[in-house]
Amino acid sequence: MNIVAKDFTPVTTVPPLKASRISKEYLGGTFKALDDVSFELQENQITAFVGPSGCGKTTMLRIIAGLEYPTRGRLEVFGKNVQGPGPDRGMIFQAYTSFPWLTAMQNVEYGMKILKVPAAERRERTMNFLKLVHLEKFADTYPRSLSGGMKQRVALARTLAQNPAIILMDEPFGALDAQVRWEMQELMIELIEREKKTVVAITHDIEEAIYLADRIIFFSRQPGRIKADIPLTFKGGRRIKQKEELLEMPGYAELERQLFAMMREEIK
């Protein structure tokens, strides 16, 4: 399964991503979106970026993806300095990016075609991932006939099939309605658990952050800095698939209260 992108096989103790002293200035240096931000991602952890609107979450994620460049700082993936985007960091956007001119199957295949995965293996992996996102019946359907949640599942399968070391998501479920969102969250937990990925997911939704994440990085606004770095220890190192179970866990309510308080502080 791990034939794609095998250059990125983890080396022990080297973090999958290390961001050192990242700053991003806009408008000719007059506006600081990010100010001296440093963190390391832990392997196979889901990290949520949380913070008020405009605090620089998207900017940070796009810098990691290589779609934007920091004004200062350094970015390392498994110890190697990176510049620009690459298939080691897969991205899932809030906007639907499944290509409308390709069927669901061709979409999932597309990323592997780019990586020149041999045809036979490509077919097999495509079918596997379509099954994982429950779209095997829609293999030959064009995205215009798929619902928003299904389109997002195509994008998820396409990204996972490329086997990136790190998966970046910018409010991936932001455009979905509540029930579909909830389904997608459960699916994501299941897939990440299975595929063993390091994930960064941006979310506005505190409940979603607590549910998905193993760790929350909370950004403050203007300039964007890390306000708090919170490991979700109350889960006891597990991922809780059932939301009901999570709600009953000691520590849940307290953490949610804390995060809301932090958010209120920032909005003021």
Partner 1 sequence: MESAISKSRDASSFSQQNLPSENIEAAPIYIPPKERFLEFRRQPSAQRASVLAFAGALMFLGLWEAGHYLTPASARKFFPSIGEVGSALYVLFAERNFLQDVSVSCWRIFISFMAASAIAVPIGILMGSFGNIRALFNPTLTAWRYLPAASFIPLLLVWFGPTDQAKIALLFIGVIFFLISLVLDNTTAIQKEFVEAGLTMGASRSTILTGIVVPAALPAIFDSMRNMIAVSWTYLVIAEIVGAQDGIGAVMMRAGRFLNVDVIMAGIVTIGALGLLTDLIFRGICRALFPWNVERRS
Ligand X SMILES: Nc1ncnc2c1ncn2[C@@H]1O[C@H](COP(=O)(O)OP(=O)(O)OP(=O)(O)O)[C@@H](O)[C@H]1O
Pattern 29-68, partner 1, x by CB under 8 A: ------------------------------------xxx-
Q: What is the largest CA-CA distance in the chain?
A: 56
The amino acid at residue 83 is Q
The option from Mg ion, partner 1, ligand X, none interacting with 85 (CB < 5 to 8 A, set by class) reads partner 1
The DSSP result for 197-252, as a single string, is -EEEEE-S-HHHHHHH-SEEEEEETTTBEEEEEEE-GGGTT-----HHHHHHSTTH
Q: Is 69 in the site for ligand X (CB under 6 A)?
A: no
Q: Is 16 in the site for partner 1 (CB under 8 A)?
A: no
Q: Is 10 in the site for partner 1 (CB under 8 A)?
A: no
Residue 107's Cα: distance from chain center in Å? 19
User: Which residues inside 53-92 make contact with Mg ion, applying CB under 5 A?
Assistant: 58
User: Which residues inside 73-92 make contact with partner 1, applying CB under 8 A?
Assistant: 85-87, 89-91
Cβ neighbours of residue 224 closer than 8 Å, sequence gap 6 or more: 24, 32, 33, 34, 35, 37, 51, 55, 56, 57, 59, 60
Nearer residue to partner 1 within complex by CB, 6 or 144: 144
Rounded Cα distance, 118 and 65, in Å: 26
Nearer residue to ligand X within complex by CB, 56 or 149: 56
Rounded Cα distance, 189 and 211, in Å: 9
Pattern 200-219, ligand X, x by CB under 6 A: ----x---------------
Q: Is 54 in the site for ligand X (CB under 6 A)?
A: yes
Token readout for 61 is 């994620």
Q: Is 59 in the site for ligand X (CB under 6 A)?
A: yes
Q: Which residues bind ligand X (CB under 6 A)?
A: 26-27, 31, 33, 51, 53-59, 204
